[in-house]
Amino acid sequence: MRENPFFWELFSKVPIIGIVRNLAFDDLKNILPQFHDAGLTNIEITMNTARAGEMIKYAVDNYSTSMNIGAGTVCSEDDLNKALDAGARFIVTPIINEKVILNCVDKKIPIFPGAFTPSEIYRAWSMGASMIKIFPATTVG
Indicate the average pLDDT of the chain. Answer: 93
Q: Give strand pairing partners of 72.
A: 46
The Cα–Cα gap between 4 and 68 comes to 9
Predicted local confidence at residue 138, as pLDDT: 74
Q: What is the pLDDT of residues 43-69, one digit of tens each?
A: 999 999 999 999 999 999 999 899 999
Q: What percent of the chain has pLDDT over 70?
A: 95
Buried b (16+ CB within 10 A) or exposed e, 6-21: bbeebbeeeeebbebe
- Cα 91 to Cα 27, 34, 95, 116: the distances in Å are 22, 23, 12, 18
Confidence band, pLDDT 50/70/90 cuts, at residue 7: confident
Q: What is the pLDDT of residues 104-118, one digit of tens each?
A: 999 999 999 999 999
- Higher-pLDDT residue of 11 and 80 is 80
42 bridge partner residues: 68
List pLDDT tens digits, range 88-99: 999 999 999 999
| pLDDT score at 34 | 94
Domain boundaries, the chain: 16-133
In 47-128, the DSSP E strands lie at 68-72, 91-92, 111-112, 114-115
Return the pLDDT at 105: 97
pLDDT score of 39 more than 60: yes
**Segments of 6-95 assigned E as strands:** 18-20, 42-46, 68-72, 91-92
Rounded CA-CA distance 11/122 in Å is 23
Say if residues 91 and 111 touch (Cβ distance below 8 Å).
yes
Look at residue 4 and tell me whether its pLDDT is greater than 70: no
Query: What confidence tens digit (pLDDT) does each residue in 24-38 have?
Result: 999 999 999 999 999
CATH number for the region 16-133 comes to 3.20.20.70
φ, ψ of residue 90 to 5 degrees: the values are: -150, 160
